C-alpha cells in the first residue's frame, strides 16, 4: 500500500474531492484525519472509511480561523502521534465572484480567507509537527486558472489560486532541507456537486466544455489519484512543483469542436 503507516490530514474531507481522497488514502493504508465545517458530512466520510476497515477521525475546523487550524493539527498528532501528509484541499468558488469591477469586498474577503489564509494556517501548524517526526508531504490545491485566465470571470478565485501557487514554491524552497516537500495540485474542472451548481446555466457549461481538449469534466477519483502520488514516497524528489490535471486545457491554444 502506497501510504502504509502514514498519517494524513485532509481539509474539506467531508464531501466532493476531499471525501474521495480521504477514502482513497485510507484504502492505501493511511490513517486519515477528516477535517470539515460540515459535521454530518465529515462523520459520514469517517464512517465509510471505518466500514471499509480503515482508520479515521473527524475534526471540526474552519481553516480560515487560525485557532481552528492549530487545533486540527494538535488533534491529529494527539490521536495518531505524528503527521506525514497535509492535504490543504478546502476551498470555495463563490457564485457572486465575477469581473474585477463587479466583485464585492465580501466575496474577496471570504475567498481569500479560506483559499489562501486557510492554506497558510494549515502549513503554519502542520510544518512544525512534520519536522518533529522527520518531515512530510504537503499538497496545496491550486487550480489551472493559476496558470491562465478563466473563460468565465471569477477574479477572486483566480487570484487566490495564484497566491496558493506562489506560497507553495516559497514553502518548498524554505523547508526542503528540513524534510518537507510542498507541491501544488492544479485541477481543471472536476465533476463535483459544487461545479454542477455553478454550471447549471447551459450556456456557461458549454463555454467551459469548449476549452477542454478531452471534451469532458475530470472525475474526482482522477484528481485523488494525483494527490495520492504527491502524498506518497513515489514523488520523493518533487517539491515546489505544480501537478496540472486539467484534461489538456493549459496545453491548448485553440480547441477544435466537433
DSSP codes joined into one string, 124-183: HHHHHHHHHTT-EEEEEE--GGGTS--SS--HHHHHHHHHHHHHHHHHHHHHGGGTEEEE
The residue among 25, 124, 94, 11 whose CA lies nearest residue 58 is 11
157 is known as an active-site residue: yes
Helices assigned H by DSSP within the chain: 16-27, 39-51, 66-80, 105-112, 118-132, 155-175, 193-198, 202-209, 220-231
Q: Collapsing DSSP states into helix, strand and coil, what is residue 115?
A: helix
Q: Which of 58, 87, 125, 157 is catalytic?
A: 157
CA gap 7, 95 in Å, rounded: 34
Q: Residue 10 to residues 15, 177, 226: CA-CA distances in angstroms?
A: 11, 24, 14
The residues annotated as belonging to the active site are 157
Amino acid at each position: 500500500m502506497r501510504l502504509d503507516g502514514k498519517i494524513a490530514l485532509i481539509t474539506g474531507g467531508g464531501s466532493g474531492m476531499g471525501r474521495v481522497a480521504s477514502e482513497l488514502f485510507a484504502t492505501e493504508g493511511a490513517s486519515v484525519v477528516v477535517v470539515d465545517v460540515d459535521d454530518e458530512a465529515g462523520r459520514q466520510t469517517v464512517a465509510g472509511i471505518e466500514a471499509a476497515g480503515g482508520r479515521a477521525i473527524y475534526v471540526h475546523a474552519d481553516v480560515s480561523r487560525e485557532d481552528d487550524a492549530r487545533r486540527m493539527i494538535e488533534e491529529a498528532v494527539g490521536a495518531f502521534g505524528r503527521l506525514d501528509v497535509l492535504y490543504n484541499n478546502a476551498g470555495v468558488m463563490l457564485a457572486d465572484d465575477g469581473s474585477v469591477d463587479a466583485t464585492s469586498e465580501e466575496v474577496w474577503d471570504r475567498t481569500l480567507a479560506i483559499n489562501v489564509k486557510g492554506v497558510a494556517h494549515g502549513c503554519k501548524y502542520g510544518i512544525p509537527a512534520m519536522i518533529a517526526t522527520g518531515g512530510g508531504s504537503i499538497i496545496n490545491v491550486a487550480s489551472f486558472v493559476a496558470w491562465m485566465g478563466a473563460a468565465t470571470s471569477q477574479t477572486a478565485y483566480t487570484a487566490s489560486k495564484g497566491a496558493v501557487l506562489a506560497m507553495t514554491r516559497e514553502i518548498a524552497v524554505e523547508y526542503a532541507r528540513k524534510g518537507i516537500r510542498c507541491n501544488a495540485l492544479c485541477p481543471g474542472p472536476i465533476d463535483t456537486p459544487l461545479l454542477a451548481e455553478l454550471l447549471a446555466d447551459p450556456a456557461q457549461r458549454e463555454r467551459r466544455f469548449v476549452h477542454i481538449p478531452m471534451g469532458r469534466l475530470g472525475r474526482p477519483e482522477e484528481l485523488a489519484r494525483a494527490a495520492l502520488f504527491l502524498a506518497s514516497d513515489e514523488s520523493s524528489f518533487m517539491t515546489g512543483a505544480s501537478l496540472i490535471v486539467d484534461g489538456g486545457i493549459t496545453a491548448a491554444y485553440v480547441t477544435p469542436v466537433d
